[in-house]
Structure 1
Amino acid sequence: MLKLKNLTFVLWGTLLFLGGCTKEEQAVAPTIANESLTTVILKATNTADAADTTSCRYKFTFDSQGNVTSSDSTPLNLKANATYAVAVQLYDELQSPVFDVSAEIKERQNYHLFFFQPTPISPANLVTGLTSPYIPGTATSATGPYLNLSVARTDHDTNNPAYELGLADKFTTGEASSGNLEVVLRHQPNAKNGTYAPGSTDLDVSYKVIIK
């Protein structure tokens, strides 16, 4: 597992990422064979105006031993009182051509599930369950101000019954506000049931969100 203070990036999984650990265990570099996942992008398109697009990026730089030497992220800027179609894009930019890790997740969709956690959030809005993309146990604020963002996954896997995946999502904004959005990918082979609990964490990153 690769873990950075305050902003965490974790990737591992059978066939896609090698090895396994929990957040509390010692960090090791994420790899796909001899490659490293370097970039996580959220690309948002306003559903009322296809020309209105925005994105945020989380990127890591690795040394020759696969250790992170630096990282940087860009904020997600959204319009108030709007709805966005959002695509999660994962890449290994060390490969030529650039390797699309999102396609690997799609191929293994029956044991992966994304979660999205806006914060600060009120207790009333932190709803968990089979259809909730939010993370159980997230700290809430009784007084705010809150990040006025709600998230819904819009794609599904091929399990029977089908469960949500989260490579494609809907972000709905309210009034102007700011906060953070945590994005977590859970790896749940032979255990996926629509909830957060089964399995372990493949990916955990956080973005600044500004709604105005």
Structure 2
Amino acid sequence: MDILLHLESEHEGIIYIFTQKGICIYDMKKLSNFTLYVIVCIIWGCGSKEEASPKNKENEPMNTMYFACSTLDPGASSQTLEWRDWDGLGGNPPRLSGSMTLMPNTDYIAWVQLANEAGVIGSGQFMTDEIKNEMDDHAFFYQPGNASLWTITKHQLDTRGRIYDGAISFKTGNSGVIPLKITLKHQPGLKDGTLSPGSIDIEANFNITVQ
């Protein structure tokens, strides 16, 4: 299980383990001691994993981004937006799929998945794990066009305690539309918590409705 983010709920006894494949929700009161031990080992084992990052590696070839989110409620389903730009800059406009409508003043968890598709949806190579293994050289940045409707409440950090943010938690504001730009920057040896250093691996624009 490749853990992106682990959260404890305000509901007593509920924990959320956030993975590449989605969200796992556990009711601690219903689990055996052995199962709890296994969960704790997974959380600590994955959270402490460190891998060396190549400092002079070129930008990653990626043309597809998935942005998904879910509330923290047990049994909640996720919503996903998809962005594809198969022919790159100067070609056809990016292709957008899906819709996302969020509730006002509500806590959410969100994650990004990346792929280099070969002209067919679902084909090609998923790149999410490769980027996560090189998190010390990368960072995701979320730029909402309406900042009053979007507040990040929990960041995902790299192995050196700097922002990586392949997964986040955030809270919505009042009703409105959020134009959201998500940028993955390649910042080997340059990370300072800001968007400025480095080069862009992939950048996508989405619209999210809050109502």
Specify the SS of the correspondent of 2:94: strand
Consecutive aligned runs of 4 or more in structure 1 exceeding 6 Å deviation: none
Partner residue, 1:166: 165
How many angstroms apart in 2 are the aligned matches of 1:70 and 1:114? 22
TM-score by length of 1: 0.63
More helix by share: 2
1:198 equivalenced with 2:197 (yes/no): yes
Distance in 2 (alpha carbons) for counterparts of 1:153 and 1:68: 36
Q: Distance in 2 between matches of 1:168 and 1:186?
A: 15
Name which structure has the greater RCO, CA cutoff 8 Å, separation 6+: 1
- Larger Rg computed on CA atoms: 2
| 61 and 97 in structure 1: CA distance in 2 versus 1, 3 angstrom threshold | closer
Query: Are the equivalent residues in 1 in contact too, given 2:186–2:201 (CA < 8 A)?
Result: yes
Aligned CA RMSD, in angstroms, stands at: 2.6
Correspondence list, 1:74-93, <5 A: 74=97, 75-93=99-117
Q: What is the DSSP-based 3-state SS (H/G/I as helix, E as strand, rest coil) of the residue aligned with 1:69?
A: coil
Distance of 2:109 and 2:164 partners within structure 1: 14
How do 1:50-129 residues align onto structure 2 when only pairs under 5 Å count? 50-62=75-87, 68-74=91-97, 75-94=99-118, 98-121=124-147
d(CA) in 1 for partners of 2:125 and 2:71?
A: 27
Counterparts in 2 of 1:50 and 1:155: CA distance versus 1, 3 Å: farther
1:28-39 to 2 correspondences below 5 Å = 32=61, 37-39=62-64
Q: 2:155 matched to which residue of 1?
A: 154
Instruction: Name the count of aligned residue pairs.
Output: 154
Normalised by the length of structure 2, the TM-score is 0.63
